[in-house]
Amino acid sequence: MARLGAGSGAGAETSAGAGIFSRASRQQYAAIVRMRFDMLGHSVRTSRGAFDLVSQVVSWGVFALWGLGLATGFGFGAYFAVQRHHASLLVLLLWAALMIWQVVPVLAVSFRDSVDLSSLLRFPIGFGAYSLLFLIFGLLDVATILGTAALAGLAVGAGVADAGMLAWLLPALALFGIFNLLLTRAVFAWIDRWLAKRRSREILGVCFFLLILGFQLMNPALHGGGHAQAAWLGAHTQVLMAADRWLPPGLVASAGQGGAALGISLAGLLLYAVAAGSLLGLRLGKQYRGESLSEAPARAASSSKAQEGRAWLDVSGLVTGPVGAIFVKEARYLMRAYQLIYSLVAPLILVVIFSARHSRPGAPAVPAEYVIPMGAAYAFLGMTRMLYNSLGTDGPGLAFYFTSPVPLRTVMLGKNLFHLTLLLVELVAVWSVAALRVGWHDPQMLVLTLCALVFAIPAEFTAGNILSIQSPYAMNFSKLGRPQGAGANSLMSLLVQVVVAGLGAAVFYGAYHLGNLWLAAPAFLVLGVIAAVAYWRVLGNVEMLARRRIEPLLQDLAKTVS
């Protein structure tokens, strides 16, 4: 890291004011590249680092397939639009590219690796170089990969249909892509700023829920109401088309008129890019000047509030003592983490969507009897980040568990009890929504699903406790991105869930093949007993497992999101 100073003495003192392509800046870029490669080389020496690298390779493979699919779809769409002279379809494709670039990263935030470059400000790095590095790291973001693939496919498809239009389409798309890149980086930079404070984090969390809920429910609302929605869309189409002429997608499409329209469109896109860049520069400028986003120490709780908290602990009855204290602590952590709350709300939204499709005549429907097992599976998916990384919310505070008289077994028991309560509440909510939307189901499927849960719950909790010790990562809810080390944990938790679901499906298939689904019930109960014994043995040995790797465990959870 010392090389980032690009020299010593007077050279180091003047490097902060050097240009972004000066000799000192080029040395800093080379030092950062070497540092990233050294970090990668050191990380793969551990089993966890190797798993994390594998998860990143898998993620990049998935993104590459998505990008290839988007490029192909946008290419055929642009070819059809140019061949048939459908200007409105070309505008629609451009709007789709903008939505992919701006909305998909928020919806798939768990796939986004967060890189914090603010640590570089300890070195004499110039503002221009810092801003350039911020944009370069943005080129590796999911949004940029998918958005660039979509625009590239659009350009190829339109060029095949009419090669002459590439003369105006390529510069317009280039400015459109630069605008999207700057806007995406600005949005995430400002969101990270707002997430740094608890109050703004809570407000932003509510807005985030409403946004996600609106997108999830938009399709059923527009297609389930018949003539009322069609009349509303028809009445506002002209207004939307008039406003679209001055928005970035409309400017790109209107550039094809040539002449003065081309100049106006390129100038408008340039102004949009400058505005997005100014918004980003304002945020980066505050970071460069040393803005601190740490929260001030919280005020000591009053005696009445402390008594109120103890009363809550005593009234609960089932969660008293150390187990109850852990239960309450986890509940308070959850109320401050909108990402975890959204993961719990998501299954309810999916059930509403599936049931809405079921209620529309002639539409593909999910059979009503399968909503219960699907809801149970989605409930487990919503619990993944908490269940398989139960120590992640403690962060550096994990050290207190090793110095307190309370054994770690009791701590994990309290966390598991809280997770079990959440899971049961989630299941009741999912099944209640399903019953209200599509009616009551076959009692046989309900009983078999409950028997499957007797096996799935202890099996998932056993694997969750092991991964929470072997592959934890520190959760930072003031950053919109995936913390360092989350890749290996996510990959292993996904494999465990696939194995558990596969065993459940195999039992169901075997019982169905034998002609009697009720045979699945005793099979699940036998598997449940085995899983319960395994859970109890792992719970009894968590203290030994944790103390064997206490140093890497504390190091992993003491990391900030980088």
pLDDT digits (tens, 9 = 90+) for 427-470: 888 778 777 766 665 678 888 888 999 999 999 999 999 988 88
| pLDDT top residue among 240 and 86 | 86
Query: Mean pLDDT in the chain?
Result: 75
| 362 — pLDDT class (breaks 50, 70, 90) | very low
Q: pLDDT tens digit string along 309-341? A: 444 444 445 556 788 888 888 888 887 776 677
Residues 277-303: what's their mean pLDDT?
A: 68
Please state, for a pLDDT cut of 70, what percent of the chain lies above it. 69
Return d(Cα 476, Cα 299) in angstroms, integer: 21
Token readout for 547 is: 């103390």
Residues 473-497: what's their mean pLDDT?
A: 69
3-state helix, strand, coil in the chain (%, to 5): 80, 0, 20
Is the CB of residue 328 less than 8 Å from the CB of residue 319? yes
Does residue 113 sit in helix, strand or coil? strand
Phi–psi pair at 290, nearest 5 degrees:
95, 25
Q: Residue 497: its pLDDT value, please?
A: 87
The answer on pLDDT for 555 being more than 70 is yes
Residues 6+ apart with CB under 8 A from 381: 343, 347, 497
Encode 191-215: b = buried (16+ Cβ within 10 Å), e = exposed.
bbbbbbbeeebeebbeebeeebbee
With CA atoms as reference, report the closest residue to 132 among 10, 22, 9: 22
**Residue 41, Ramachandran bin (φ over 0: left; ψ between -120 and 50: alpha; else beta):** alpha
Return d(Cα 225, Cα 228) in angstroms, integer: 6
Calculated CA dihedral for residues 268, 274, 275, 281, nearest 10 degrees: 170
The answer on pLDDT for 229 being more than 70 is no
Return d(Cα 250, Cα 104) in angstroms, integer: 21
Residues 6+ apart with CB under 8 A from 253: 87, 90, 91, 94
* Segment among 58-67, 109-118, 303-312, 410-419 with least mean pLDDT: 303-312
With CA atoms as reference, report the closest residue to 445 among 501, 499, 512: 512
- Kindly report the pTM of this predicted structure: 0.60
Q: Residue 482: its pLDDT value, please?
A: 55
Q: Residue 307: its pLDDT value, please?
A: 46
Phi–psi pair at 326, nearest 5 degrees:
-65, -40
Residues 157-183: what's their mean pLDDT?
A: 88
Residues 472-478: what's their mean pLDDT?
A: 70
Cα radius of gyration rounded to whole Å, the chain:
27
| pLDDT top residue among 274 and 369 | 274
Q: Residues 262, 265, 271, 277: is their CA dihedral positive or negative?
A: negative
